[in-house]
Amino acid sequence: MKFFKKNSELAIDLGTTNSLVYVKEKGIVFREPTVVCYNTELDQVESVGEEARKMIGRTPGNMIAVRPIKDGVVAEFDRTCELLRYLVKKSVAKTAFTNPRAIVSHPAGVTQVERSALMRAVEESVGEDVLLMESALCAAMGAGLPVFDPLGTMVVDLGGGTTEVAVISLGGIVISRSLRIGGEELDEAIISYVRKQYNLLIGERTAEDIKINLGTAYKFEEEEDDHNYTELDYEKSMKVKGRDLDTGLPKDITVTEGDVAKALEYPVSTIVEAIVTTLEKTPPELSADIMDRGITITGGGALLRGIDTLISKETKMPVFIADHPLDCVVVGAGIALNRFDDLVRNLK
């Protein structure tokens, strides 16, 4: 029989954009970008996390900075293993490190092959006493929703690589929808819009800065009669530097909130459509519960201004942004550690 010390039980949110580690009775101990910088000549990892993220687009010929997780699944197996080893090493004291008991989140829409690849990477890097758990269920638990009660609750987890929409009752997912659309796709939409509209090429870090500073999902504000809408006054703007596609020289332009709203219109509308479709397929009893309790949004996408207002307008339901939406998945997985044995029997 294995013996686990208290601080060797951990939960990992292996996200496309950021990775978080939760250690039981300590809380979140690690939060860094999911990036690995690799030296191709020496065949070794140079850096992981924030230090590696700073190298994106700036590495010499013998080094590459990669995101080993793409759309919530393993894109580069060896780099994912290196990342997981780094996470465990940084999070668990050497004296406590035997084979930690761990829960790792994953999108609901993964294929069996993708799930097997993730499980193999986790087992090789962390240990064999691990459990994979769907991100939406983790997010709902982390948001404080009564997932184990005989009630219908709905959570929308807007992550970096995927969007998870799920209706949960009695500790399980009744119906769900997983989209390979997340924060990175929003960045790509901004890059594409700036290229087409201003003939300027910008990098992903610049696009992310634009999204954080000017990103908005809702282009109208509701007036008092609840029926008429007027366009927001998009005065907020920022200067953006990039490369002019005609001359090849550096150039700066001014991007407005209106530009960003137009750039994000398609991916955001796709997310809203997935939520509406999921509601249409939800059993009537659970739909009534959701109408009473509302929809909860988690993940980094919850910070996109107006996303809750837009979803509420389209679904005619109350929508709430979870407290600390970025942490919900890993906190929920950490809470699930207390039910580890039961979940192993139910989910494995």
**Pick from 64-73, 146-155, 180-189, 195-204: least confident:** 64-73
**Predicted confidence band at 175 (pLDDT cuts at 50, 70, 90)?**
very high
Give me the pLDDT at residue 98, please: 60
Give the pLDDT mean for 198-221: 87
**Predicted confidence band at 346 (pLDDT cuts at 50, 70, 90)?**
low
pTM here is 0.87
Give me the pLDDT at residue 224, please: 41
**Predicted confidence band at 276 (pLDDT cuts at 50, 70, 90)?**
very high
Closest CA to 14 of 188, 98, 130, 94: 130
Specify whether the CB–CB gap between 48 and 36 falls below 8 A: yes
Task: State the sign of the Cα–Cα–Cα–Cα dihedral 235, 236, 241, 242.
Answer: negative
Residues in the chain: 348
Does 42 have pLDDT greater than 80? Answer: yes
In the chain, where the domains are located: 6-139+328-347, 145-181+268-325, 183-265
Does 96 have pLDDT greater than 80? Answer: no
DSSP 8-state class, residue 224: T
Give me the pLDDT at residue 293, please: 92
Domains 145-181+268-325 and 183-265 share a fold: no
Return the CATH superfamily for domain 145-181+268-325.
Answer: ATPase, nucleotide binding domain (3.30.420.40)
The DSSP secondary structure of 282-313, one letter per residue, reads S-HHHHHHHHHH-EEEESGGGGSBTHHHHHHH
3-state secondary structure of 91: helix
Give me the pLDDT at residue 348, please: 52
Give me the pLDDT at residue 132, please: 92
How would CATH label the architecture of 6-139+328-347? Answer: 2-Layer Sandwich (3.30)
Q: What is the CA radius of gyration of the chain?
A: 21
Give the up-direction half-sphere exposure of residue 22: CA atoms within 13 A in the CB hemisphere: 25
**Predicted confidence band at 219 (pLDDT cuts at 50, 70, 90)?**
low
**Predicted confidence band at 318 (pLDDT cuts at 50, 70, 90)?**
very high
**Predicted confidence band at 235 (pLDDT cuts at 50, 70, 90)?**
low
Give me the pLDDT at residue 229, please: 41
Give me the pLDDT at residue 234, please: 46
Name the CATH code of domain 183-265 (choices 2.130.10.10, 3.90.640.10, 3.40.50.720, 3.30.70.60): 3.90.640.10
Specify whether the CB–CB gap between 74 and 118 falls below 8 A: yes
